[in-house]
Amino acid sequence: MHRRTLDAEFAGFVREHRTDLVRTARLLAGGDPHRAEDLVQTALVRAYVAWGRIRENDYPVAYVRRSIVNAHIDESRRPWWRRERSTAFLPEPSVPAPHDGLGEAVRAALAALPPKMRAVVVLRHWLDLSVEQTAEWLGCTEGTVKSQNAKAVAKLRHLLAPEGAPPPVPAVPSGRRSR
């Protein structure tokens, strides 16, 4: 297929899925929009290089999501790789997010989780992956996924619902099975 056709196809894929990819990356990055953008850009570069192959998959967005997770885990293992480069132009000033108590609290709680534990939360609860799929994506055992998930949920509850205060979301009705 002609390169221009592939490029146009890839640009269409980005247009369709980028917003969702950034949302996933923001959760992995503990709410940091700039780190999230770095993760998405890294993953999309990898996807572009492999586009001739992955475009034939049933679900190429899964490839990119997994690439985002891998970039997140890789980055967590090499703190402080500087990506900034000096430029002659100042970046545009960012628009401050509106004040949002719960959102800020959740972002802070997410950021307090270790990177891999945060990834478990995002894969299990945002992307709705099974325990088995999550273990495969993260290269760990299913037991590790279950224990990390349990610890993460407990920690989030602890951070978001101070002792004596009602939790910010309705409690799970009794008898409902969790995954």
Partner 1 sequence: MNDDVKRLLAAALNEESPPMTYDPNDDVARGRRSVARRRTAIVSGAAVAALLAGGGAWAALGSTDTGRAPATAVEQRSVPSTTTAPAEPAVQQITLVAYTGKQPKGYRVKQVPDGWEIQGGTSSSLVIAPKDAADKDPNSFVDKIAVLSTSSDAPPESLTEGTPVPVGSVTGYYRKTEGGQILTYQDKASGRWVDVQVPGQLNWDAARIAEFAAGVTVVGGAGDSHG
- Which parts of 63-82 interact with partner 1 (CB under 8 A)? 74-82
Q: Kindly indicate which of the ranges 53-61, 129-137, 163-171 contains the residues binding partner 1, using the contact rule CB under 8 A.
A: 163-171
Q: Is 22 a residue that touches partner 1 (CB under 8 A)?
A: yes
For partner 1, which residue of 5, 56, 164, 176 counts as binding (CB under 8 A)?
Answer: 176
Smallest CA-to-CA distance from 29 within 129, 163, 126 is with: 126
Q: Which parts of this chain interact with partner 1 (CB under 8 A)? A: 7, 10-12, 14-15, 18-19, 22-23, 26-27, 31, 33, 37, 41, 44-45, 47-49, 51, 74-82, 95, 97-98, 100, 102-104, 106-107, 110, 114-117, 121-122, 124-126, 128, 140, 144, 148, 153, 156, 160, 168-172, 176, 178-179
